[in-house]
Structure 1
């Protein structure tokens, strides 16, 4: 009998908030390793097929994650780019990695403040992206994966083996 009750309770939820965060942070860890592997001399300048340099791709991922978490928690969304003047653009990989680590802590701190029901609430993030909060979080993860894929192509054309895409921690 106890197993049946536990089973019906788990059918109401596919993954927990903690598992979703661990999934995202697994992707973030992989992207961080990609940044570490990227040759410094090409990080800010190398482009291919009209795409932006890796530094610009990573900057977008950083800004989106950094500026999103307060809105995810509170429903109060700034405009994209609002407040970004406060943190200057990085000019070295070391600075990018420091920003990456800072944003990871921002995500972890705000994540603990997200009430479970909030994931189902509909917001219009940044006045642009309307949907449930869980959907917007998927967008942030998907956007990072997309840009990491572009950077993988860059690394391969530079003769650098990127980190294995599947090598990320599982919760």
Structure 2
């Protein structure tokens, strides 16, 4: 069998489907928190899960726009913008829609381009995209620890 250098392991749509599966699960983790603890609970000096979720929102929405256009906003995620769980979940849902809407506008070659994402992180865009997903999984794991410390069973991690 002859193989070519252009053969794909996974399509862009399959990557998006995986990412959106992670986003559905992370949304369930956000929803599992009691309101007060979402914004105030912390272990070992880590940020609240609300701040972690806000970082994911502020990275992924503008990030997918940067993937598509090469125009990168400055990443500003350290300030608490959302004050209630409902506001945070709405922002999460809006970002999920933005990702879905913009995804098909990303030219396939862009994933191989090098960019300075958010004016700070240089590298190939497939790596930047994988970082968005890795970052979410990492913080979701912290959310699982928080929920367990609060005596709350987190959503099953395989239910994406």
Asked whether the two chains share a fold, i.e. TM above 0.5, the reply is yes
Residue segments in structure 2 that go unaligned for 5+ positions in a row: none
After superposition, the C-alpha distances for 1:24-44 in whole angstroms (9 at most, x for unaligned) are: 000000000111111112111
Greater relative contact order: 1 or 2 (C-alpha under 8 angstroms, separation 6 or more)?
A: 1
Distance 1:37 1:11 in 2: 43
Per the TM alignment, residue 92 of structure 1 is displaced from its structure 2 partner at its CA by: 1.0
**Aligned counterpart in structure 1 of residue 132 of structure 2, from 122, 131, 140:** 140
> Which of structure 1's runs of 4+ aligned residues deviate more than 3 A?
8-11
- Bigger Rg, which one: 1
Residue segments in structure 1 that go unaligned for 5+ positions in a row: none
| Superposed CA RMSD | 2.1
**Aligned counterpart in structure 2 of residue 49 of structure 1, from 30, 38, 44:** 44
Note if 1:155 corresponds to 2:155.
no
Distance 2:117 2:61 in 1: 13
Corresponding residue number in structure 1 for 2:87: 95
After superposition, the C-alpha distances for 1:50-101 in whole angstroms (9 at most, x for unaligned) are: 100111110101100122122111111121129x99xx82111111111000
Corresponding residue number in structure 2 for 1:23: 18
Q: What TM-score, normalized to structure 1?
A: 0.87
Distance 2:6 2:153 in 1: 41
Per the TM alignment, residue 10 of structure 1 is displaced from its structure 2 partner at its CA by: 9.8
Distance 1:55 1:81 in 2: 15
